[in-house]
Chain A
Amino acid sequence: MSPRPGFVLEVDTSTPPTLFWHGERFALERLPTGSRVIYGPEPVAALADPVAAIRHALTHPLGDIDPLPALLTAGMRLTIAFDDVSLPLPPMRRPDLRQLVIEQVLEFAADAGVDDVVLIAALALHRRMTEPELRHALGDRVYDAFAPHDLLWQHDAEDPENLVHLGLTDHGEDVEINKRAAESDLLVYVNINLVAMDGGHKSVATGLASYRSLRHHHNARTMQHSRSFMDQHHSELHTSNWRMGRLIAASGVKVFQIETTLNTDTFPRQFRFLQRREWEWTVRDRVSFLGASNSLRGTPPGLARQILQGIRAPHRMTSVQAGEVEAVHAKTTEHVYAQQRVEVEGQSDILTMGLPYICPYNVNSIMNPILVACLGLGYFFNLYRGKPLVREGGVLILHHPTPNEFSPVHHPSYIDFFEQVLTETTDPVEIGMFEESFATDPWYIHLYRTGHAYHGVHPFYMWYWCAHALEHLGAVIVVGGDREAVRRLGFKRASTLADALEIAEDVVGPDPSLTHLHAPPVMMADVR
Chain B
Amino acid sequence: MKKALVFERNLPRFAAARVAAMVAGSGRGTGIGPLRLTEIDPPALPGPAWHRIRPTLAGICGSDLATLDAKSSRYFEELVSFPFVPGHEIVGVVEEASGPDPLAPMTRVVVEPVLGCIPRAIAPPCPACAEGRTGGCERVAFGHLSPGLQIGYCADTGGGWSAAGLVAHRLQLHAVPDDFTDEDAVMVEPTACAVHAVLDAAVDPGAVVAVLGAGTLGLAAIAALRTLTTPATLIAGAKHAHQRRLAADLGADGVVTPEQLPRAVRRQSRSLINAGQLTGGADIVVDCVGSAESLSQALAMVRPRGRIVLVGMPGPVHVDLAPLWHREVALTGAYAYGTELVGGIARRTFDVAMDVVAAHRLGRLVSARYPLERYEEAVAHAGAAGRRGAVKVVFDLDARPPASPARRRLAPKGPPS
Q: Which residues of A contact B (CB under 8 A)?
A: 415-416, 419-420, 423, 437-438, 441-443, 446
Contacts and interface: CB of A to CB of B under 8 A. Distances in A.
A420 B264 contact: yes
Contacts of B273: 443
A415 B260 CA distance: 9
B264 A441 contact: no
Contacts of A441: 267, 270
B263 to A, nearest CB: 5
Interface in B254-268: 254, 256-257, 260, 263-264, 266-267
A446 B271 CA distance: 11
A415 B272 contact: no
B258 to A, nearest CB: 12
Nearest to B256: A419
Given A419-B264, A442-B272, 10 more contacts: A416-B263, A416-B267, A419-B263, A420-B256, A420-B267, A441-B267, A442-B270, A443-B270, A443-B271, A443-B272
B260 A419 contact: yes
15 contacts: A415-B263, A416-B263, A419-B256, A420-B254, A420-B256, A420-B260, A420-B264, A420-B267, A423-B256, A437-B267, A442-B271, A443-B267, A443-B270, A443-B272, A446-B272
B382 to A, nearest CB: 27
A441 B267 CA distance: 7
Contacts of B270: 441-443
A459 to B, nearest CB: 13
A415 B266 CA distance: 13
A416 B267 CA distance: 8
A405 to B, nearest CB: 14
Nearest to A434: B267
A156 B106 CA distance: 75
A430 to B, nearest CB: 16
A438 B270 CA distance: 9
Given A419-B256, A419-B257, A420-B256, A443 B266 contact: yes
Contact of B264 (A416, A442, A443, A446): A416
Interface residues of B, number: 12
B255 to A, nearest CB: 8
Contacts of B264: 416, 419-420
Contacts of B272: 442-443, 446
Interface string B381-408: 0000000000000000000000000000
Nearest to A438: B267
A452 to B, nearest CB: 16
Contacts of A419: 256-257, 260, 263-264
B282 to A, nearest CB: 15
A43 B360 CA distance: 66
Contacts of B260: 419-420
Contacts of B256: 419-420, 423
A438 B266 CA distance: 11
A442 B260 CA distance: 19
Contacts of B271: 442-443
A151 B249 CA distance: 56
Nearest to A444: B267
Nearest to A419: B260
A133 to B, nearest CB: 25
With most chain B CB atoms within 10 A of its CB, the pick from A415, A420, A437, A441 is A420
Contacts of A443: 266-267, 270-273
B44 to A, nearest CB: 56
Nearest to B264: A420
A488 to B, nearest CB: 12
Nearest to A456: B267
Interface in B234-291: 254, 256-257, 260, 263-264, 266-267, 270-273
A416 B272 CA distance: 14
Contacts of A423: 256
A446 to B, nearest CB: 6
Contacts of A438: 267
A446 B274 CA distance: 12
Interface in B305-338: none
A434 to B, nearest CB: 10
A423 B252 CA distance: 14
A443 B281 CA distance: 12
Ranked 8 nearest A-B pairs via Cβ: A419-B260, A443-B272, A416-B263, A416-B267, A419-B256, A442-B270, A420-B264, A446-B272
A62 to B, nearest CB: 47
B301 to A, nearest CB: 13
Contacts of A446: 272
Nearest to A440: B270
B251 to A, nearest CB: 16
Contacts of A416: 263-264, 267
A171 B257 CA distance: 43
Nearest to B279: A443
A343 B260 CA distance: 47
Contacts of B254: 420
B264 to A, nearest CB: 6
Contacts of A437: 267
B235 to A, nearest CB: 9
Contacts of B267: 416, 420, 437-438, 441, 443
Nearest to B254: A420
A423 B256 CA distance: 9
With most chain A CB atoms within 10 A of its CB, the pick from B257, B267, B271, B272 is B267
A144 to B, nearest CB: 34
